[in-house]
């Protein structure tokens, strides 16, 4: 079997690369989604990518896409992640949009999809709560019907990008007497309204990327209920499958690993090139094999999406394997770079401009966000292998 991109896909990759070379600052090594200038740049890039029609190219045309293949979309995601390029609202494009296409009403699709395609809005995900993470179905945020609205009260936590968001997809309890999975509804709420309070949380890498969000009598029109009342668990679970899919894990890791390999070729210790140390070269070879496996899992997921299937155990496989690999590469990098590896990017002595240090710090949370590795393994075991709960 030969895995090959079509000539059209390869042509698009070249076009995208040229675009990124032109648009990204000289010497670009990647940015974060932080406050200030970086966020302005994020939005600027988003608009340019949207104008090209690239953010949502696999969507149907009526919602702002161009009906391109999922493999074409994969090429875009892979190249963007490899170049560490900013500009995508993953919550909107990768998670909410495909979920709405399955569970949303026609009115919801027409209202919410085009602004995502035009790169005009930022979404965030209100799932986790202070007492509900892995056991998400135990969530307590209440939504009570009142006329044409729901009135929402409760607290969400670890809400990434809430401080930038225009809208939130929020899981709420609408029937407190039903079994926990059967009393949940999936709502789309406006973040810029009275009663929504966003409290910043600073992570261990000293970045502001997530928040606590408090809802105090927040009104959500009933037309913003996605799927059936009290059946929101299933809508929320579909979204998680899309969230956990993606070639980003392997493409980002591939880049870091390539940089590490180059560093080991260019630098010596005790008169010997690092790469000539068999312990190091074997480690790098092993990680290269695993990066390739991670890439192939994500290609399979893209193929499933192109066949109209919702990847489930495959997403959990890709997510757990890809994020554990991110950590393994960062750990190997820290071991190879020695004490200098701990220096932050602003130190002139930090190897690879502190990228391994940053990756080491940031990848800790990768096996927690979007469901921990333990939860992914539970899904693979029960839904994938049919093992008992």
Catalytic residue among 42, 243, 324, 357: 243
Q: Which of 263, 365, 381, 384 touches ligand FAD (CB under 6 A)?
A: 365
Cβ proximity to ligand FAD, 260 vs 375, nearer residue: 375
- Nearer to ligand FAD among residue 132 and residue 294 (C-beta): 132
Tell me the residue nearest to ligand FAD as measured from the CB: 133
Q: Dihedral sign for Cα 156, 158, 164, 165, please.
A: negative
Q: How far is the CB of 98 from ligand FAD (least distance, A)?
A: 17
Q: Which of 13, 378, 381, 384 binds ligand FAD (CB under 6 A)?
A: 378
Distance between terminal CA atoms of the chain?
36
Whether 18 is catalytic? no
The CA radius of gyration of the chain, in Å to the nearest whole number, is 22
Identify how many contiguous H helices and E strands the chain contains and give both numbers. 12, 10
Pairing relation of β-strands 123-126 and 167-173? parallel
Please, which residue, 244 or 254, has the CB nearer to ligand FAD?
Answer: 244
Residues 210-229: x where in contact with ligand FAD by CB under 6 A, - otherwise, as a string: x-------------------
Please check whether residue 240 is in contact with residue 246, taking contact to mean a CB–CB distance below 8 angstroms: no
CA atoms within 13 A on the CB side of 69: 13
Rounded to the nearest whole angstrom, what is the least distance from the CB of residue 160 to ligand FAD in the complex? 4
Calpha distance 206→202 (Å, rounded): 6
372 binds ligand FAD (CB under 6 A): yes
DSSP string, 154-218: EEEES-TTTTT-SEEEEEEES-TTS-GGGSEEEEEEESSSTTEEEEEEE-TTS-EEEEEEEEEEE
**Between 213 and 284, whose beta carbon lies closer to ligand FAD?**
213
Tokens of 204: 């261990």
| Least gap, CB of 284 to ligand FAD (angstroms) | 27
Q: Select 281 or 372, whichever has its Cβ closest to ligand FAD.
A: 372
Whether the Cβ atoms of residue 268 and residue 227 lie closer than 8 Å to each other: no
Q: What angle do CA 341, 290, 250 make, to 5 degrees?
A: 75
Burial of 70 (0-12, 13-18, 19+ CB in 10 A): middle
> 184 has which bridge partners?
173, 231
User: Is there binding between residue 134 and ligand FAD (CB under 6 A)?
Assistant: yes
Nearer to ligand FAD, 129 or 259 (CB): 129
The CB-of-369 to ligand FAD minimum distance in angstroms stands at: 3
Rule CB under 6 A: choose which of 133, 195, 221, 384 binds ligand FAD.
Answer: 133
Q: How far is C-alpha 13 from the chain's CA centre?
A: 21
Q: Which of 127, 150, 215, 360 binds ligand FAD (CB under 6 A)?
A: 127
Residue nearer to ligand FAD on the CB measure, 79 or 129? 129
**Closest C-alpha among 241, 277, 274, 283 to residue 351:** 274
Binder among 73, 122, 128, 238 for ligand FAD (CB under 6 A): 128
CB of 169 vs ligand FAD, minimal distance in Å = 9
* Nearer residue to ligand FAD within complex by CB, 213 or 352: 213
- Binding segment toward ligand FAD, per CB under 6 A, in 31-39, 124-132, 231-239, 277-285: 124-132
125 binds ligand FAD (CB under 6 A): yes
Q: In the stretch 159-198, what mask flags binding to ligand FAD with x, by CB under 6 A? A: xx--------------------------------------
Of the candidate residues 371, 376, 379, 380, the single one contacting ligand FAD (CB under 6 A): 371
Taking the complex as a whole, the smallest distance from the CB of residue 32 to ligand FAD amounts, in Å, to 12
The neighbour count for residue 241, using CB atoms within 10 Å, is: 23
CA distances from 293 to 179, 253, 254, 298, 309 (A): 39, 12, 11, 9, 21
Indicate which residues carry an active-site annotation: 243
Report the interface residues with ligand FAD, using CB under 6 A.
124-128, 133-134, 158-160, 210, 365, 368-372, 374-375, 378
């Amino acid at each position: 079997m030969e895995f090959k991109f079509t000539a059209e896909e390869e042509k698009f990759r070249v076009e995208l690369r040229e675009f990124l070379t032109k648009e990204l600052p000289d010497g670009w090594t990647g940015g974060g989604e932080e406050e200030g200038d970086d966020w302005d740049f994020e939005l600027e890039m988003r608009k340019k990518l949207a104008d090209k029609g690239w953010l949502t190219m696999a969507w149907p045309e009526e919602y702002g896409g161009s009906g391109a293949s999922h493999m074409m979309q994969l090429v875009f995601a892979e190249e963007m992640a490899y170049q560490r390029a900013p500009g995508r609202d993953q919550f909107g494009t990768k998670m909410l949009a495909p979920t709405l296409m399955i569970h949303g009403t026609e009115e919801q699709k027409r209202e919410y999809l085009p602004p995502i395609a035009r790169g005009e809005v930022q979404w965030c995900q209100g799932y986790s709560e202070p007492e509900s993470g892995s056991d998400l179905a135990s969530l307590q945020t209440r939504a009570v019907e009142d006329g044409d609205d729901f009135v929402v009260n409760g607290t969400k936590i670890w809400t990434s990008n809430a401080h930038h968001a225009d809208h939130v997809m929020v899981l709420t309890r609408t029937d407190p007497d039903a079994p926990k999975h059967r009393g949940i509804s999936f709502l789309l709420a406006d973040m810029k309204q009275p009663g929504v309070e966003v409290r910043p949380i600073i992570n261990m890498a000293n970045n502001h990327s997530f928040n606590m969000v408090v809802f105090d009598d927040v009104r959500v029109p009933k037309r913003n209920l996605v799927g059936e009342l009290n059946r929101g668990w299933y809508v929320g679970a579909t979204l998680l499958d899309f969230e956990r899919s993606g070639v980003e894990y392997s493409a980002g890791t591939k880049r870091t690993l390539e940089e590490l390999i180059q560093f080991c070729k260019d630098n010596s210790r005790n008169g010997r090139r690092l790469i000539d140390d068999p312990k190091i070269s074997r480690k790098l070879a092993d990680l290269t094999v695993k990066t390739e496996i991670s890439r192939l899992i994500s290609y399979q997921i893209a193929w499933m999406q192109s066949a109209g299937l919702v990847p489930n155990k495959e997403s959990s496989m890709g997510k757990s394997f890809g994020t554990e690999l991110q950590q393994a590469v960062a750990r190997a990098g820290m071991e190879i770079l020695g004490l200098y590896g701990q220096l932050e990017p602003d130190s002139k002595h930090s190897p690879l401009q502190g990228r391994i240090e940053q990756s080491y710090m940031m990848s800790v949370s990768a096996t927690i966000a979007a469901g921990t590795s333990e939860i992914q393994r539970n899904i693979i075991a029960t839904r994938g292998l049919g093992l008992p709960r």
